[in-house]
Structure 1
Amino acid sequence: MKIKTTFDSLLEKPKKTTYRLQLIDEAVRPLILICPGGGYTHLAYEKEGLAIQAWLQQKGYHTGILAYQVQNIQPTTFLNDLKNVMMALRQQPQISQIFVLGFSAGAHVAGLFGTKLDHQPDGLLLAYPVVSFVEPFSHQGSWQNFLGEDAHFADRTNYSLERNITKTTPPCFIWHTIADQAVPVENSLCLVQALKAQQVPVECHLFPEGRHGLGILPEEPHVLQWQGLAENWLKKQRK
């Protein structure tokens, strides 16, 4: 099946949060909402959006790409936008379940869906995620762009995923490379620990090599097995 995709350069730096839904057909299927990364300064819309969408639709999933606001973010408004997206998706008759897949800062957005909303997704897939906004391994650029350079510690804690895990957080699939020098692997490790403490099901895969932001690029063929692992995890979550 050939998937047609289009690219709008304006989606690299959205000024407001929107999403683009692409249904395979009218059949009832799970949907995966894709959140590209970009440090809350831009979106890697092609590499971590359109390329990921083509793969997932070939595997039989409805998809959507979240063009979330970057720069000049007001966190409360940002969360309200995520709430509205989730409510709109839940009303689609062709969608049986909702999974959110995020990359880097987009994985932080996915984590907000799973920790800050009353109506949560059915599962989260987090690729080399930005998790913590506090030391010792916070991703400074992401939290400064999301909260502002002068954000108080309490605000940074409030938006650190590992500090907001509860027993209602949806199951998670996580992968990271140990060699990641942009977002330290400790982000994933602390999240796994927090999920385990709350007895939330989690599957985590760590790869020894590979730079940050690989997505499905073939630079490290060994790392590409994350796709098959994610597909198997999704099958286990389907109802």
Structure 2
Amino acid sequence: MTDRTEPPLRPGRRAFLATVGGGAALIASTASAQTAPPATGKPGPAGLPDPVETIDLWPKGAPGMPATPPVETVTERSTDRDVTDRAVLGITRPRLVVFRPHRPNGAAVLITPGGGYRHVVIDKEGYEMGRWLCARGFTVFVLFYRLPGDGWAAGPDVALTDTQRAMRLIRHRARDYGVDPQRVAAMGFSAGGHLCADLLTRFDVRVYDPVDAADRQPARPDAAAPIYPVVSMTAPDAHPGSRALLIGADADAARERAHSPHLNVPANAPPVFLLHAEDDDVVPVENALLLRAALRAKGVPVETHLFAHGGHGFGLRKTLGKPVAAWPELFLAWAGGILV
């Protein structure tokens, strides 16, 4: 199934690169004393070194630290020595890992990887997609966000807090990265897709106190792509693990509603690209359909792609030889009418 609702073109967006001198912004120096990417203890795939540039979200530390802070830990889930499948948990210093293209097209993508709100995936839905988009001219920021089960004061809003802050920081530093602040998209996978959907619906909800000038920037993405997203917090469509960690296994209807993006869509939500496999046995396809229906009811442009086969968590690596392998190019074609 493919459903496309065309958004209006933004006048003058292609002129942006001329105003920054093309790729000249690439000479901007990297900020010092930033927290390194998650310590993987293992190199990435051969010929694909791990990125090194990062941006800490919170200059004075993340707000609302638990009384007993978690310990950041990276686990390797792959048994194949040539394929990494790393994940990080216990994040206390949320940060962006940056992928700079050789020839920036002026657009940026903020990626929120999945992990069921138990951990944050590094490779499959983070670095791999970052490299793919970066090779096509996008400046990519992979977000390692705090997890709601770690006891942060913000509770179920802690990951959204980091995502709003990340979007504002990208815009605040846009010229350093050759990015047009009006061409910044969000993309998320699974629970990270919930976070992406949460951002595209609750970008104006105040979930933290401003800390500096960056917080004067808007948190609304210019486009959003929730990929096989968790959306509903209500049975039978909710993903039980994400729901329990985000809002608690015994959450009442009010809390379920507050954290179900399809029930919070504003009329000024950005254009959306939705993707799901109908044979997803982890996050039911109904999650994407609920979000699609809510977006259409508000008149928000939405393009929807449903594939009969693909399962869950396919990212890029698990699409080989399947029709769903077309999805990155479908996203690229869609984004070309909005961001590029």
**TM-score between the two structures when normalised by the length of structure 2:** 0.66
Alignment of 1:45-194 (within 5 A): 45-70=122-147, 71-72=149-150, 74-92=155-173, 93=175, 94-96=178-180, 97-118=183-204, 119-194=219-294
2:327 to 218, 226, 232: 226
Moved more, 214-223 or 94-103: 214-223
Aligned equivalent of 2:29: none
DSSP 3-state at the match of 2:337: helix
Q: 1:175 to 1:79 in 2, by over 3 A?
A: closer
RMSD: 2.1
Output the amino acid matched with 1:145.
L
Moved more, 167-176 or 24-33: 24-33
Task: Tell me the alpha carbon deviations over residues 149-197 of structure 1, each in whole angstroms, 9 at most, x when there is no partner.
Answer: 2322211110101001111111100111100010000001111100000
State the 1:4 CA deviation.
4.0
Moved more, 155-164 or 16-25: 16-25
State the 1:211 CA deviation.
1.4
State the 1:42 CA deviation.
1.1
State the 1:131 CA deviation.
0.6
Output the amino acid matched with 2:89.
K
More helix by share: 1
**Pairs aligned (count):** 238
Contact 1:171 1:200 in 2 (8 A): yes
State the 1:147 CA deviation.
1.6
Aligned equivalent of 1:32: 109
Contact 1:3 1:57 in 2 (8 A): no
DSSP 3-state at the match of 1:136: coil
Output the amino acid matched with 2:271.
P
Aligned equivalent of 2:74: 9
Aligned equivalent of 2:336: 235
DSSP 3-state at the match of 1:90: helix
Give the fraction of aligned pairs with identical amino acids, expressed as a percent. 32
DSSP 3-state at the match of 1:12: strand
State the 1:81 CA deviation.
2.5
Output the amino acid matched with 1:99.
A
Task: Tell me the alpha carbon deviations over residues 52-82 of structure 1, each in whole angstroms, 9 at most, x when there is no partner.
Answer: 1110011110001010112325124433332
Output the amino acid matched with 2:179.
I
**TM-score between the two structures when normalised by the length of structure 1:** 0.92
Moved over 4 A (4+): 25-28
- Runs of 5+ unmatched residues, structure 2: 1-46, 53-72, 76-86, 205-218
Contact 2:283 2:312 in 1 (8 A): yes
State the 1:47 CA deviation.
0.7
Q: 1:26 to 1:206 in 2, by over 3 A?
A: closer
| Alignment partners' CA distance in 2, 1:132 and 1:33 | 22
Contact 1:14 1:67 in 2 (8 A): no
DSSP 3-state at the match of 2:97: strand
| Alignment partners' CA distance in 1, 2:322 and 2:157 | 40
- Runs of 5+ unmatched residues, structure 1: none
